[in-house]
A and B are shown apart, each in its own frame.
Chain A
Amino acid sequence: MRAIAAALATSAERREAVALVSVVQAMGEFSATLGRHLVVWLDERTPLGDLQLGDLQPRLIEEARAALRERRHARLDYRTEAGAITLFVEVQPQPYHLIIAGAGHVAAPLAVMASLCDFTVTVLDDRPQYANRERFPTADRVIAGPFRAELRKLRGDRPTFDPNTCIVLVTRGHQYDVDLLLEVLDDPVAYIGMIGSRRRVRAVYELLERERGIPRHRFDRVHAPIGLDIGAQTPAEIAVAILAEIIAVLRKRAPERR
């Protein structure tokens, strides 16, 4: 048991996706499998453990990987002439990565609450007096450097940010927000939100359409003004509205937009 717990703990610490397959019910030829486990990773790593299911095992490893890709727990039922087995695939998905551009008054409470909700949090600002550990003790990374260059660096070798990424644009000036928005506009991220009043946001989109020829529909996926309309006023309340909107999007609920 300890080897299995250790593998799951290591994956949790590395923040990588992993599934634990447990036998829930087993009858007939499968009854000896009750209490057994199998650890399955999303990549091609050899699964750990043995459910003693013979030919069924490769099939259920595929099912477990499918559950991991969908980030959903699954229940699997197999029936043969000689028995029946029910398995539970418990999915530990990779935590979402929240990138907060701007380290101001909204970013500070947002970083704390996002950590509580198990996001991996990166904060980015070009002002070291704001982007520092003292202001963001719970963040996983705090980066002080030029916005667009640092955001590109976060993307790494990959051509785009992945669907595991959420981006919140709350810098001190709209020109930085817009510059970063254009950098990630076509990346298949889970969420992009940008701060600003409704009027300001509309003016920015019109300007970009006029000056840069970017059609309006390309901004459809941007959540701006950012956050659910809960009447938030203080920076901490606005952070609540933003995080609530992100959770609603990730949990695939239609959020009420401002």
Chain B
Amino acid sequence: MTKPFYCQLQQFLDEGLTVAVATIVQVKGSTPREVGAKMVIHPYGKHVGTVGGGCGEAEVIRAGLDVIADGQPRIVRIDLTEPISMQSMGVCGGILDVLIERWGPEETETQNNPGRVES
């Protein structure tokens, strides 16, 4: 019933937008979301999906905006294991590795990787 993730992504690309896609590729401990959870980081803030919300997701969104700008795929490690304090009372623990990649409207992906030599 919810719109499939890739239908939403395709719609952004069809509109000519360049976005970042974040995917949880590895977790350790009790994390807010599971491996394979995804979100689109939208250049103007209309993000779709969630990798767990909260401060961790805010970090992913910031990194996503960088990826939209420079095109370099990267892994962001979100560590939610710090002790509960008055500043940060996150509900979950655990460590997430999040892959963040740029997805643009170009048809093929050879241009996805600026600065790299294609063989």
- A residues sitting closer than 8 Å to B (CB atoms) are 1-6, 8-9, 11-13, 22-25, 31-32, 34-37, 49, 52, 73, 75, 88, 90-92, 115-116, 118, 138
Contacts and interface: CB of A to CB of B under 8 A. Distances in A.
10 contacts: A1-B13, A1-B103, A2-B107, A5-B13, A9-B7, A11-B6, A32-B113, A91-B36, A92-B6, A118-B1
Given A2-B14, A88-B23, A115-B1, A52 B119 contact: yes
Interface in B62-88: 71-73, 75
Contact of B108 (A1, A22, A88, A90): A1
Given A1-B13, A2-B14, A32-B117, A22 B99 contact: yes
A2 B13 contact: yes
B4 A88 contact: no
A32 B119 contact: yes
Interface in B1-54: 1-2, 4-7, 9-10, 13-14, 23, 25-26, 35-36, 38
Interface residues of B, number: 36
B109 A1 contact: yes
B73 A35 contact: yes
A32 B116 contact: yes
Contact of A24 (B10, B25, B117): B25
Contact of B103 (A5, A23, A52): A5
A13 B73 CA distance: 27
A20 to B, nearest CB: 8
A169 B13 CA distance: 43
Contacts of A2: 10, 13-14, 104-107
A22 B101 contact: yes
A34 B35 contact: no
